[in-house]
Amino acid sequence: MLNPCLSLPAQAAALILAKVPQGFVPALAIILGSGLGPLADVIEPLAIIPYGDIPGFHVSTVYGHSGRLIVGVWQGVNVVCLQGRAHFYEGASAVALQVMIRTLRHLGCEQVVITNASGSLRAEVGPGDLMVITDHINFQGINPLVGPNDDTVGSRFVPMDNAYDRDLRTRFLQLASDQGQNLATGVYLGVLGPTFETPAEIRAFRTLGADAVGMSTVAEVILARHAGLKVLGVAIITNLAAGMDEQSLSHEETLSQAKDSAGKLIHLLGLYVASFTA
């Protein structure tokens, strides 16, 4: 029975924890970007819960973004995986995003790995490459913390200088380098969408210092930092950004490229997660 006196994230966490063995605490959460669905299949599941069953969770309307939460064990480590996210371009509210991220904190996570599919603004970083996110530019025209602050979650004014945690990033880059992969790093610029950018916008974003562009991540990172969660962000580059080649962009193309590259990221994330037991 849900307790309506609790906040939505507390209700959501209570519902989730009721489905797993007592004492289960996830070491980390992973938010899966487009095409990364297969990662959910390598987790030994303890519970798989459709978003529609979780109080306050947003049910995605976007093809390729199924909505379910997987709680389980991967590489001997307790994890929670969000397969599907809420995007502002769908009309999802800031509250919907807040509930998803704050639920992770209620579950006991201390860090969240945020993955996404992005367009690259750098010609030498192309489709199939991974980019470890070092920082972001919020170009979504919205901040998910606008409104009264919930002091029980975090402080009113949130520092964003180490939003993408230096230590986690170094650990991930080192693991990749040990595998002979020198991953790109760069600044992610989040747009609202749902349109892809114009070539003029991409030229402007490059001048602003962006290396990759996408329609997610920024709000989740802001909410995670507000709630005291550390963040590792990794983008799968699915295309060169608008105007950089002859191709016209489509969701189907980006989804298909993300699926093709998912194996590479799943492999590295597996090593990353395993390093929590070392």
Q: Is 197 in the site for ligand HPA (CB under 6 A)?
A: yes
Q: Is 160 designated active site?
A: no
Q: Is 34 designated active site?
A: yes
Q: Is 219 designated active site?
A: no
Taking the complex as a whole, the smallest distance from the CB of residue 205 to ligand HPA amounts, in Å, to 10
Q: Is 31 in the site for ligand HPA (CB under 6 A)?
A: no
Collect all residues with Cβ–Cβ distance below 8 Å to 66 and sequence separation of at least 6: 37, 60, 83, 84
Catalytic pick among 215, 224, 242, 262: 215
CB atoms within 10 A of CB 219: 24
Q: Is 215 designated active site?
A: yes
CB atoms within 10 A of CB 266: 18
> Which listed range, 55-63, 67-75, 84-92, 207-215, lies at the site for ligand HPA (CB under 6 A)?
207-215
Q: Is 65 designated active site?
A: yes
Q: Is 117 designated active site?
A: yes
Rg (CA), the chain: 18
Task: List beta partners, residue 116.
Answer: 235
Q: Is 187 in the site for ligand HPA (CB under 6 A)?
A: no
Which of 118, 140, 217, 261: binder of ligand HPA (CB under 6 A)? 118
Specify the residue, 168 or 215, whose C-beta has the smaller distance to ligand HPA: 215
Residue window 147-186: x/- pattern of binding to ligand HPA, with contact defined by CB under 6 A: ----------------------------------------
CA 34 to chain centre: 10
Structure tokens belonging to residue 265: 């990221």
Number of residues that bind ligand HPA (CB under 6 A): 13
Taking the complex as a whole, the smallest distance from the CB of residue 191 to ligand HPA amounts, in Å, to 6
Quick check: 205 and 189 in contact, CB under 8 A? yes
Taking the complex as a whole, the smallest distance from the CB of residue 66 to ligand HPA amounts, in Å, to 17
Catalytic pick among 7, 13, 29, 34: 34
Which of 9, 37, 72, 119: binder of ligand HPA (CB under 6 A)? 119
Taking the complex as a whole, the smallest distance from the CB of residue 214 to ligand HPA amounts, in Å, to 4
Range 216-255, binding ligand HPA (CB under 6 A): 238-239, 241, 249, 254
Which of 28, 101, 189, 215: binder of ligand HPA (CB under 6 A)? 215
> Which listed range, 22-30, 78-86, 111-119, 132-140, lies at the site for ligand HPA (CB under 6 A)?
111-119
Q: Is 262 in the site for ligand HPA (CB under 6 A)?
A: no
Amino acid identity of residue 100, one-letter, is M
- The angle formed by the CA atoms of residues 268, 112 and 79, to the nearest 5 degrees, is 70
Residues that bind ligand HPA (CB under 6 A): 117-119, 196-197, 213-215, 238-239, 241, 249, 254
* Catalytic machinery residues: 34, 65, 87, 89-90, 117, 215-216, 239, 251
